[in-house]
Structure 1
Amino acid sequence: MTRDARPDGTLSARLHPLLVRDHQFATAGFGRRGLDPREVRRFLHRLALELASLHQEVTRLTEENTKLKRLLRDRRSAQANRSLW
């Protein structure tokens, strides 16, 4: 079981940079050297999913920020036009 796994074997909800930096893989089974390739692939897959999710969130927030800035600019412009009359 990996160090970030819960006692029931499930993984914690989000990857944290410290978790990635400090992650330790199990060694390969008897007669093999190195890390367990399945565990490495699982961890890399999980990391890739997390990164994809974060990229989607950044894109969504960037779009939302752009819309809010546009709305604020339009409201300020409308308010300035009203004050001129």
Structure 2
Amino acid sequence: MCPSNHRGCVVDRTLSERGQCVQPCCRANRRRAAGYLPSQVRLRRFTPVGFGRRGVDPDEVTEFLDQVANDLARAYTELARVREQNTRIKDALRRWQSRQVRSAQELAGR
């Protein structure tokens, strides 16, 4: 059974391959290995500071912002890598298509 005790979680079709609940509220509360989900960033609340001060704990906010910044940096690095790979694949496909057209033209000309 999932941490949220969903009634349907014991049914095989609602469990993921790893046995984790796939109900929307459980997915939103589970942290991904790659970083925070957008909903987790939007819903994050910080601890109020102690008596005599107003606001939230600046160390907690700084730690959270550092983690989000690191997650974004990883995401942008991965995006750049995927775009570069996409460009290489498209170029290879264009070269292959050009060779195929030339081969087809040569065969037709015989």
Runs ≥4 in structure 1, deviation > 6 angstroms? none
CA distance in 1, matches of 2:37, 2:103: 49
Which amino acid is the alignment partner of residue 47 of structure 1? V
1:37 aligns with 2:53: no
Unaligned ranges ≥5, structure 1: 1-11
1:4-83 alignment runs, 5 A limit? 12=31, 13=33, 14-83=35-104
- Per the normalisation by structure 2, the TM-score is 0.64
Q: Percent identity?
A: 41
Q: Which has the higher contact order (CA 8 A, sep 6+)?
A: 1
- The Cα RMSD (Å) is 0.9
Partner Cα distance (2:98, 2:50) in 1: 68
Q: TM-score, normalised by structure 1?
A: 0.82
Instruction: Give the number of the structure whose alpha-carbon radius of gyration is greater.
Output: 2
Q: How many residues align?
A: 74
